[in-house]
């Protein structure tokens, strides 16, 4: 079916053939919509996109019309895409009028929204659709009952839909499937709700995405992660060997553990990562891009369909205005006549550009392609428009005419022209005024790399040793420090929690020990108590009835336990209790402990002897004094309990002092 790739005279006959014939000597084979103004000075009205596409749709079978703009030929085969669109929309069993084009936009420079105007121009019932790369289909239903808005929402909100990169044929399939859905509105609402509630990828999903081998950085990230883990494990293994040897452990066992965790496990991780990378199929960016390869060599575009149409439109003339260019044609005919008299050939084209056309929206690349197709040296100018404006933007290249492209472009930049005719007039003046330079080099197209990404294995090893030898050991050491620090804090916390009983717990302990002590005194075992211990035993029983404070409660418990221990082992009568915490039991060693102003050697139990000096400082029993202030009990040296080590020293003197303290209360 004919589309934008059809011979231009078919479009001309549908629009303004008589006017075109009168101007062919000036503009060659330009279509009617590209006519410049006549010599009267009145502005020639250009054809709107709706008029242009309506004329092309009129050439299609009634009720089954599809037009594929030739600007899409760089990424699509226009005939194949046209056939696919017929298959998709033909299944709806309603009249359809479909335009696939990267143009136009909906702004005023294009004449506003093209679809309502297209409906007015065609004037027939049916489905009207505009398909643009990277956009949701836009549609109007005239005289047919189709949920076009719900279908568009379905395509936009459907999970996993990527209409930006999806081929137009697949977008059309999804759109027509939504149009045929009897519950289209409910489906669209459900997708919209899921879309609005979607919180995006989780941190874990983003992490896995960063390791995807098909991405440019995935293998490098994976290698760096594995290498960092390798360095950390090796560092931890070496620390383990040193720790085991320092504690007198087996060298063989230490080396065996280090070999497993420092060598075997990292090697398995590397092998697993490499196997995983090899198991994932190559992505598009890892394979040679045929489009990029085509753009790296003449004609510098993957398709010359539109370029050839433009070349045909130039004919024997110098100026061509594309039907879809929104720029003004005012004064263009006069300037075109001047261009025919230029000292060097000048070829100027008014052309709309889009990022999805054969030139990727690059006017310079189109100029190179046009020069290749025409095969003529000269000055080539591609006049496009700035976004959302009607201001011309001109790209100019000079081939084989002893003119420097840079100075031609500079002359246009300094001229500040407001219309294409003014822009072209400035260019013609520059062509005549600029000095000829026989050494001026022809412009070279922008270098488009055709090389795919490096092999995954090379990227995997790129930063491996930086992670294994630098970051990994740092993380391993930091992890070890964090673990040891945490263990130390937990140990200190447990020590404090275990050795710092609450006042309520002290009272329960004291009452229980007082009952045990009273029972011992009343039993026949009382005779086994040393006579020297009896004063401290009697004083302890009396203290409980005299409003005891925390230190008194500790003393009662310690005296009771010492008395019971002496009954079992008479040799323990003079053994001092642990002075870090007398509730621990008998002391077995002397270690530095105590408050800063009274630090010295104190008898401590076996458990406290195994602590560091700092840990022992934090493990000293803290109790409330008479004023309710929590203090280290060793700082209460004025109290009889502390001064006489809870009866281990001079128990008779301690008992006397306790009675004095009771009387003082």
Q: Which residue has the higher pLDDT, 149 or 485?
A: 149
Whole-number pLDDT of residue 499? 54
List pLDDT tens digits, range 316-334: 899 999 999 989 899 999 9
Q: How far apart are CA 48 and CA 58, in angstroms?
A: 15
List pLDDT tens digits, range 526-542: 888 888 889 888 888 88
List pLDDT tens digits, range 79-107: 999 999 999 999 999 999 999 999 876 67
Examine the pLDDT at 25 and tell me if it is beyond 60: no
Examine the pLDDT at 199 and tell me if it is beyond 70: no
Measured in whole angstroms, the distance separating CA 118 from the mean position of its chain's CA atoms is: 42
Q: How far apart are CA 163 and CA 165, in angstroms?
A: 6
Residues 562 and 577 sit within 8 Å (Cβ to Cβ): yes
How confident is the model over 336-354, as a mean pLDDT? 94
How confident is the model over 247-275, as a mean pLDDT? 85
The pLDDT confidence band at residue 1, using thresholds 50, 70 and 90, is very low
Examine the pLDDT at 650 and tell me if it is beyond 80: yes
The pLDDT confidence band at residue 44, using thresholds 50, 70 and 90, is low
How confident is the model over 335-355, as a mean pLDDT? 94
b/e burial code for range 124-158 (CB count within 10 A of at least 16 → b): eebbbbbbbbeebbbbbbbebebbbebbbbbbbbb
Instruction: Give me the half-sphere count of Cα atoms (radius 13 Å) on the Cβ side of residue 421.
Output: 18
Tell me the three-class secondary structure of 441-456, residue by residue: CCCCCCCCCCCCCCCH
Other beta carbons within 10 angstroms of residue 356's beta carbon come to 18
Q: How far apart are CA 647 and CA 536, in angstroms?
A: 6
In terms of phi and psi (left: phi > 0; alpha: psi -120 to 50; beta: otherwise), the region of 645 is left
List pLDDT tens digits, range 399-425: 999 999 999 999 998 888 889 999 999
Q: Which residue has the tokens 């130390």?
A: 488
Asked whether the bond before 8 is cis by omega within 30 degrees of 0, the reply is no
CA-nearest of 21, 457, 412 to 222 is 457
Helix (H) or strand (E) holding 489: helix 472-499
Measured in whole angstroms, the distance separating CA 71 from the mean position of its chain's CA atoms is: 34
The pLDDT confidence band at residue 493, using thresholds 50, 70 and 90, is low
Give just the sign of the alpha carbon dihedral 628, 631, 634, 638.
negative
List pLDDT tens digits, range 172-195: 999 999 999 999 999 999 999 888
List pLDDT tens digits, range 455-475: 899 999 988 988 888 888 998
- Name the burial class of residue 59, with classes exposed (0-12), middle (13-18) and buried (19+) by CB atoms within 10 angstroms of its CB: middle
* Sequential DSSP letters for 367-421: HHHHHHHH---EEEEEEEE-TTS--EEEEEEEESSS--HHHHHHHHHHH--SSHH
Whole-number pLDDT of residue 295? 78
Whole-number pLDDT of residue 571? 82
Examine the pLDDT at 21 and tell me if it is beyond 70: no
List pLDDT tens digits, range 210-257: 889 988 889 999 999 999 999 889 888 888 888 877 777 778 887 888
Other beta carbons within 10 angstroms of residue 612's beta carbon come to 12
Q: For the chain, what is the mean pLDDT?
A: 84
Q: How far apart are CA 42 and CA 242, in angstroms?
A: 95
Q: What are the residues whose beta carbons fall under 8 Å from the beta carbon of 404, sequence distance 6 or more?
A: 398, 434, 437, 440
The pLDDT confidence band at residue 346, using thresholds 50, 70 and 90, is very high
Whole-number pLDDT of residue 421? 95
* Sequential DSSP letters for 211-248: T-TTSSSHHHHHHHHHHHHHHHHHHHHHHHHHHHHHTT
The pLDDT confidence band at residue 202, using thresholds 50, 70 and 90, is confident
Examine the pLDDT at 559 and tell me if it is beyond 70: yes
Q: Tokens at residue 247, please?
A: 């504690």
Q: How far apart are CA 145 and CA 49, in angstroms?
A: 26
CA-nearest of 119, 113, 174, 175 to 147 is 175
User: Dihedrals φ, ψ of 150, to 5°?
Assistant: -65, -40
Whole-number pLDDT of residue 115? 92
Q: What are the residues whose beta carbons fall under 8 Å from the beta carbon of 375, sequence distance 6 or more?
A: none
What angle is formed at CA 310 by the lines to CA 309 and CA 313, rounded to 5 degrees?
A: 90
Examine the pLDDT at 645 and tell me if it is beyond 50: yes
Report the range of poorest mean pLDDT among 291-295, 467-471, 652-656. 291-295
Three-class SS state of 106: coil
The pLDDT confidence band at residue 12, using thresholds 50, 70 and 90, is very low
Helix (H) or strand (E) holding 346: strand 346-350
Q: List residues bridging with 590 in a β-sheet.
A: 603
Whole-number pLDDT of residue 448? 62
Examine the pLDDT at 291 and tell me if it is beyond 80: no
Q: Tokens at residue 462, please?
A: 């790129």
Report the range of poorest mean pLDDT among 132-146, 547-561, 591-605. 591-605
Other beta carbons within 10 angstroms of residue 226's beta carbon come to 23
Whole-number pLDDT of residue 17? 32
Whole-number pLDDT of residue 85? 97
How confident is the model over 139-144, as a mean pLDDT? 95
CA-nearest of 647, 454, 633, 465 to 539 is 647
Examine the pLDDT at 203 and tell me if it is beyond 90: no
pTM exceeds 0.85 for this model: no
CA-nearest of 163, 153, 124 to 141 is 124
Whole-number pLDDT of residue 53? 94
Residues 409 and 431 sit within 8 Å (Cβ to Cβ): no
Examine the pLDDT at 24 and tell me if it is beyond 50: no
């Amino acid at each position: 079916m004919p589309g934008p790739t059809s011979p231009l005279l078919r479009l001309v006959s549908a629009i303004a053939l008589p006017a075109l014939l009168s101007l062919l000597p000036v503009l060659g084979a330009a279509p009617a919509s590209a006519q410049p103004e006549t010599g009267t000075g009145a502005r020639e009205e250009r054809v709107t996109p709706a008029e242009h596409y309506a004329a092309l749709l009129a050439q299609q079978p009634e009720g089954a019309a599809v037009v594929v703009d030739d600007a899409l030929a760089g990424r699509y085969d226009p005939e194949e895409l046209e056939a696919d669109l017929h298959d998709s929309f033909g299944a709806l069993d309603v009249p359809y009028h479909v335009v696939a084009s990267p143009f136009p936009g909906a702004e005023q420079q294009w004449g506003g929204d093209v679809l309502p105007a297209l409906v007015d121009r065609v004037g027939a019932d049916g489905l009207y659709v505009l398909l643009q790369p990277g956009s949701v289909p836009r549609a109007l239903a005239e005289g047919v009952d189709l949920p076009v808005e719900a279908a568009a929402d379905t395509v936009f909100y459907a999970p996993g839909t990527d209409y930006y990169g999806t081929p137009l044929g697949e977008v059309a399939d999804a759109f027509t499937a939504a149009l045929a859905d009897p519950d289209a509105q409910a489906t669209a609402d459900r997708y919209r709700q899921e879309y609005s509630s979607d919180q995006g990828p989780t941190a874990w999903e983003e992490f896995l995405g960063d390791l995807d081998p098909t991405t440019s950085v995935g293998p490098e990230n994976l290698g760096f992660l594995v290498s960092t883990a390798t360095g950390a494990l090796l560092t931890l293994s070496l620390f383990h060997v040193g720790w085991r040897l320092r504690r007198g452990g087996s060298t063989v066992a230490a080396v065996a553990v280090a070999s497993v965790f420092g060598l075997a496990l990292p090697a398995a991780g590397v092998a697993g990562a490499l196997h995983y990378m090899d198991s994932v199929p190559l992505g598009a960016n890892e394979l040679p891009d045929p489009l990029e390869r085509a753009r790296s060599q003449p004609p510098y575009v993957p398709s010359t369909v539109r370029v050839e149409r433009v070349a045909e439109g130039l004919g024997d003339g110098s100026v061509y205005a594309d039907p879809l260019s929104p720029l003004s044609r005012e004064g263009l005919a006069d300037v075109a006549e001047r261009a025919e008299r230029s000292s060097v050939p000048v070829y100027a084209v008014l052309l709309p550009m889009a990022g999805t056309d054969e030139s990727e929206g690059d006017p310079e690349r189109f100029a190179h392609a046009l020069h290749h197709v025409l095969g003529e040296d000269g000055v080539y100018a591609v006049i496009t428009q700035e976004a959302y404006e009607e201001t011309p933007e001109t790209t100019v290249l000079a081939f084989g005419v002893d003119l420097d492209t840079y100075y031609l472009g500079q002359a246009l930049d300094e001229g500040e022209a407001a219309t294409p005719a003014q822009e072209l007039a400035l260019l013609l003046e520059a062509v005549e005024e600029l000095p000829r330079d026989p050494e001026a080099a022809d412009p070279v197209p922008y270098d488009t790399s055709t090389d795919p990404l490096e092999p995954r294995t090379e990227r995997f090893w790129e930063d491996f040793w930086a992670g294994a030898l630098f970051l990994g050991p740092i993380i391993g050491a930091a992890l070890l420090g964090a673990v040891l620090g945490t263990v130390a804090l937990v140990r200190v916390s447990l020590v404090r929690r275990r050795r710092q009983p609450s006042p309520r717990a002290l009272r329960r302990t004291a009452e229980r020990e007082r009952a045990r002590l009273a029972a011992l005194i009343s039993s026949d075992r009382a005779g086994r108590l040393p006579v020297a211990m009896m004063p401290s035993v009697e004083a302890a029983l009396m203290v409980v009835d005299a409003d005891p404070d925390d230190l008194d409660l500790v003393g009662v418990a310690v005296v009771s336990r010492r008395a019971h221990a002496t009954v079992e082992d008479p040799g323990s009568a003079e053994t001092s209790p642990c002075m870090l915490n007398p509730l621990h039991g008998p002391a077995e060693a002397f270690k530095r402990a105590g408050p800063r102003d009274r630090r010295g050697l104190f008898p401590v139990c076996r458990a406290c002897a195994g602590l560091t000096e700092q840990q022992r400082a934090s493990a000293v029993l803290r109790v409330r004094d008479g004023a309710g202030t929590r203090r280290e009990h060793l700082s209460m040296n004025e109290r009889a309990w502390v001064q006489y080590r809870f009866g281990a020293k001079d128990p008779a003197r301690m008992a006397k002092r306790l009675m004095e303290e009771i009387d003082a209360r």
